[in-house]
Amino acid sequence: MATFIFRRLLQAVPVVLGIVLICFVLLKASGDPTHMLVRQGASAEERLMVRERLGLNKPWYSQLGRYLMLDLGRSYRQERPVLDIVLDGAAVTARLALGAMIVAVALGLLSGIFSAYRPHSPIDYACAAGASIGISVPAFFLAMLLILIFSVKLQWLPLPAPEAGKLAYLVIPVLTLGMLSTALIARLTRGCLLEEMTQDYVRTGRAKGLQDLKALTGHAFPNALVPITTVIGNNLAGLLTGAVLTETACALPGLGRMIFEAISQRDHPVIMGGCLFFALIFVAVNLGVDILYALLDPRIRYGHE
């Protein structure tokens, strides 16, 4: 197992370096950020002073090396360390992402198991209709609809507030992202379980008197977890790297909104810090998924040792 994990870590290093390099090149190609940081009609001397203060007058390789050494610097706009800004946004997004994944995994797996247990039944059709609606509805529309129903009409939940830290303000965004992710997990779970139920080992067990529910949950479900784990891991990584539309609609100061505002303000250090954090999140989640693969199916682990 240690060799398996070590190889995965070695494969992740060029991925992170490549993402940092691509983001750095794109930011440099986007133009000089000092045009948005100085007053209109500023002289060349004033622009030069701003460039020197921000370190933009240094060679490109020196600026790139600073990011590769994990020195993120300070924000151009907020005059705060970029690491503090990223961690503040990550704290909000982490609570949002983990809550949404708990909702999605619980509802998605249950819906998929019920559909596979009674295929082509009213329950199966109802779950399929719900999954289709969940995949089709945009995140921002669902968030605004939930706000209208639960915050405006029923007044069960508070209206979105940008600086609110209470859990009540996370209910609507958690439900929004959780319901959207539920649909994909449910459909994939159903398909994988139905495919596993046609395998010879399940047929043999049922021929020996094994009940359908026990064959589904005790035999087919463990073998169907590998592709399901992939989808869950990808969804979790996507949520942790920021749900821009949902965070904007619900006024949450998370990672997605932070990066959106940094791009609109040409705040290069915050953009680079966010991209580096995103890369590390994806690498960590993918490594966790690979480890789960090895635990769920030892053939994967032994095949790489």
- The domains of the chain are located at 82-303
What is the pLDDT, as a whole number, of residue 276? 85
Question: Phi and psi of 252, rounded to 5°?
Answer: -100, 130
Round to whole Å and give the CA distance between 269 and 83: 10
Cβ burial of 39 (10 Å; 0-12, 13-18, 19+) is exposed
pLDDT at 1 over 70: no
| Rounded average pLDDT over 64-73 | 80
Question: Phi and psi of 74, rounded to 5°?
Answer: -120, 155
Length reported for the chain: 305
Express each pLDDT in 212-270 by its tens digit. Answer: 778 888 888 888 888 888 888 888 877 776 677 777 777 778 888 888 888 888 888 88
Q: 85-106: b or e for each residue (b if 16 or more CB lie within 10 Å)?
A: bbeebbebbbbbbebbbebbbe
Helices (H), 30-81: 44-54, 60-68
Express each pLDDT in 163-202 by its tens digit. Answer: 555 777 788 888 888 888 888 888 888 888 888 888 888 8
pLDDT at 207 over 60: yes
What is the pLDDT, as a whole number, of residue 141? 84
Q: What is the DSSP letter of 81?
A: B
Domain 82-303 in CATH 2.30.40.10: no
Round to whole Å and give the CA distance between 182 and 103: 7
